[in-house]
Amino acid sequence: MPEFDYDLFTIGAGSGGTRASRVASAYGARVAVAEEHRVGGTCVIRGCVPKKMLVYGAHFAEDLEDAKHFGWDIPNPTFDWVRLRDNVLNDVDRLNGIYTQTLENAGVEVIHQRATITGPHEITLADGTRKTAAKILVATGARPHVPSCPGTELGITSNEAFHLDAIPRRVLIAGAGYIANEFAGIFHQFGAKVTLVNRTDQLLRGYDESLRDRLLQISIMKGIDFRFHAEFRGIEKTDEGCLRVSMTSHEPIDVDLVLFATGRVPNVEGLGLEEVGVKLDDKNAIVVDENSRSTVDHIYAIGDVTNRVQLTPVAIREGQAFADTVFGNKPHTVDYSCIPSAVFSHPPLAGVGLTEAQAKQKLGSVKVYESDFRPMKNVLAQRNERSLYKMICDEHTGKIVGIHMIGPEAPEIMQAAAVAVKAGLTKADFDATVAIHPTMAEELVLLK
């Protein structure tokens, strides 16, 4: 008789937990994964995937407007939110099924219940069943953080944004990070009056300043409002049925929907972690070493619950490295350098490596190459929206230490450019590469 019911018990079947569980199972481990919501996690069910579909849907607004300059007359196009919403949700159902199937095909037992740790090797399910496991992996992700002030229960988070009955006339978005800027673009394109409210005057902290300025400028030009240095004071429902939002430094504003996009916090509450000795940091994230091992030897954690880099592909790599190391006898760690990322705003932006400010601070002297151009499609469409590409190089070696882009398809182009930065290529390597003409991406090999 084995000592434990399972070799591995994973809590949370998001992107990271799913990868770790099925790879561990493929190595011959007896694995169960518990999921209290839907298999797939934030990215698949209420994050990256449905968001990207809404971004596609939203972009038609501008494409339809631009079409006339390309000879197409499309009289009175109308938008049906419910149709798009339901198509997106149906696809989420499909992906949820595929994720579950993938786990089951890999021989992983999927338990559709909340699980908590009730002893060093013991897990208790919501129905009271107790299970034991040699190793436990916590992959419970994160959830939206909502600032505390009166009336916040009248607002929603990105979790609910995918299920709205209608597109509200006026939307206030709290925060100015990834989710705020992505949903600002989405709601704006669907016809809502959007106001972003942020506690500082900085949007998208961590991205290159020139790109952030460009996004702000284009967003304002499109008609999105910004209120900076505004701390939330409260939300109340008015007699007319709308929401009145009070904040510091600005007059109150009446809107129909408030969306909180003010960061995400690790899901650790009630999991029994501290009771068994798993240490949390000051942000409530599970403290782990480079092998994703917590302060308890046989308990590991990956993904957003560890608050290292809150990105799906990173969680997947952490899950893979965990399974390879612990069950596959192929020890390795995740390389966190040069992680490319993107914001699917309108237009999108993307970056890899150091920003100009970070590079100057780290390297002292840097060379910055830029291309500030209007994409051909925007020229013909008479759309006054300029793209900006930036390459930051070490002045002494010529090595590229960062690339940053804002403009149509920037995330698609960035994925390929990131390979070059990761490989340690130089500006000269880009110069030596023949352009593909006419493209936007060719600007990368023509930078001055």
**The token pair that represents 218 in the structure block:** 């284009």
- Asked whether the beta carbons of 446 and 430 are under 8 A apart, the reply is no
Q: Near ligand NDP by CB under 6 A, which window of 221-229, 293-301, 327-335, 337-345?
A: 337-345
**Cα-based torsion angle of the residue sequence 159, 161, 163, 167 in order, rounded to the nearest 10 degrees:** 170
For ligand NDP, the binding residues in 342-371 under the rule CB under 6 A are 342-344
In the bound complex, which residue of the shown chain has the CB atom lying closest to ligand NDP?
A: 177
Q: Strands, E, within 93-201: which ranges?
A: 109-111, 115-119, 122-125, 130-138, 142-144, 156-157, 170-174, 193-197
Q: Near ligand NDP by CB under 6 A, which window of 2-10, 90-98, 242-250, 262-270?
A: 262-270
CB of 365 to ligand NDP, least distance (A): 29
Strand partners, 260: 157, 174
CB of 58 to ligand NDP, least distance (A): 15
* Distance from the first to the final alpha carbon of the chain: 69
Q: Draw the binding track, 290-319, toward ligand NDP (x: CB under 6 A; -: no contact).
A: --------------------xx--------
Any known ligand binding at 178?
A: yes
The three-point CA angle 387-424-207 to 5° equals: 40
Q: How far apart are CA 263 and CA 273, in angstroms?
A: 23
The yes or no reply on residue 200 touching ligand NDP (CB under 6 A) is yes
In one letter, which amino acid is 403?
Answer: I
Identify which of residues 115 and 261 has a Cβ nearer to ligand NDP in the complex: 261
CB of 181 to ligand NDP, least distance (A): 8
CB of 256 to ligand NDP, least distance (A): 21
The yes or no reply on residue 205 touching ligand NDP (CB under 6 A) is yes
Identify which of residues 133 and 343 has a Cβ nearer to ligand NDP in the complex: 343
CB of 107 to ligand NDP, least distance (A): 31
Identify which of residues 136 and 174 has a Cβ nearer to ligand NDP in the complex: 174
Residues 6+ apart with CB under 8 A from 54: 84, 88, 162, 186
The residue assigned the tokens 């496991």 is: 133
The yes or no reply on residue 111 touching ligand NDP (CB under 6 A) is no
CB of 183 to ligand NDP, least distance (A): 9
Pick the catalytic residue from 121, 188, 298, 437: 437
Any known ligand binding at 263?
A: yes
- Asked whether the beta carbons of 235 and 365 are under 8 A apart, the reply is no
- Asked whether the beta carbons of 169 and 330 are under 8 A apart, the reply is no
CB of 106 to ligand NDP, least distance (A): 26
Any known ligand binding at 179?
A: yes
Has 112 been annotated as catalytic? Answer: no
For ligand NDP, the binding residues in 215-234 under the rule CB under 6 A are none
Any known ligand binding at 223?
A: no
Identify which of residues 111 and 203 has a Cβ nearer to ligand NDP in the complex: 203
The yes or no reply on residue 207 touching ligand NDP (CB under 6 A) is no
Distances (CA, A) of 195 to 54, 56, 132, 404: 19, 21, 50, 26
| Residue 358 falls in which region: left (phi positive, over 0), alpha (psi -120 to 50) or beta | alpha
Identify which of residues 168 and 177 has a Cβ nearer to ligand NDP in the complex: 177
For ligand NDP, the binding residues in 174-193 under the rule CB under 6 A are 175-180, 182
Distances (CA, A) of 312 to 44, 175, 309, 344, 441: 10, 21, 9, 15, 25
The yes or no reply on residue 152 touching ligand NDP (CB under 6 A) is no
Any known ligand binding at 181?
A: yes
How many CB atoms neighbour CB 238 within 10 A? 10
Question: ω into residue 347 within 30 of 0, thus cis?
Answer: yes
- Asked whether the beta carbons of 338 and 311 are under 8 A apart, the reply is no
Identify which of residues 32 and 176 has a Cβ nearer to ligand NDP in the complex: 176
Identify which of residues 195 and 262 has a Cβ nearer to ligand NDP in the complex: 262
Please enumerate, by residue number, every residue annotated as part of a binding site for FAD.
Answer: 52, 304
Please enumerate, by residue number, every residue annotated as part of a binding site for NAD(+).
Answer: 175-182, 263
User: Looking at the annotation, which residues are catalytic?
Assistant: 437
Q: Which residues bind ligand NDP (CB under 6 A)?
A: 147, 175-180, 182, 198-200, 202, 205, 261-264, 310-311, 341-344
